Amino acid sequence: MRLVLTSDGRIAAQRDGGWVDVSAAFDDIPYRAAADRMPRIMGVLAGRREQAEALAASGAVEPAGEVQAPVPRPTKLIAAFGNYREG
């Protein structure tokens, strides 16, 4: 199951070339900022996978639209400086 954060802030699962809203499975998870939301959802996904999959299977498929970055401000970023070297 592939989860995404839609442009209007909903959690959705990919199905049949579109998205199904599964936000109801994660509505009770507190978060302070948008950057906190997806990491917290991933932390509880193991216990709520069945509920999210049931919502994804029974929900109406909406056309795939714009999505947000899953983690808007990652806390750790690894880069290889060789990738940016000129010449």
Q: Please write the tens of the pLDDT for every residue from 11-55.
A: 899 888 899 999 999 988 888 877 788 888 888 999 999 999 999
Give the residue among 80, 77, 76, 68 at the shortest CA–CA distance from 41. Answer: 68
Which one-letter DSSP state was computed for residue 61? P
Look up residue 37 and give its two tokens: 């939301």
The CA-CA-CA angle for residues 10, 49, 54, to 5°, reads: 75
Q: Considering the entire predicted model, what is its pTM?
A: 0.70
CA–CA separation, 13 vs 82, rounded Å?
Answer: 36
Tens digits of residue pLDDT in 8-21: 888 899 888 899 99
H-assigned helices in 1-87: 34-58
CA–CA separation, 83 vs 52, rounded Å?
Answer: 39
Query: Where along the chain do its domains lie?
Result: 3-84
3-class secondary-structure state, position 28: coil
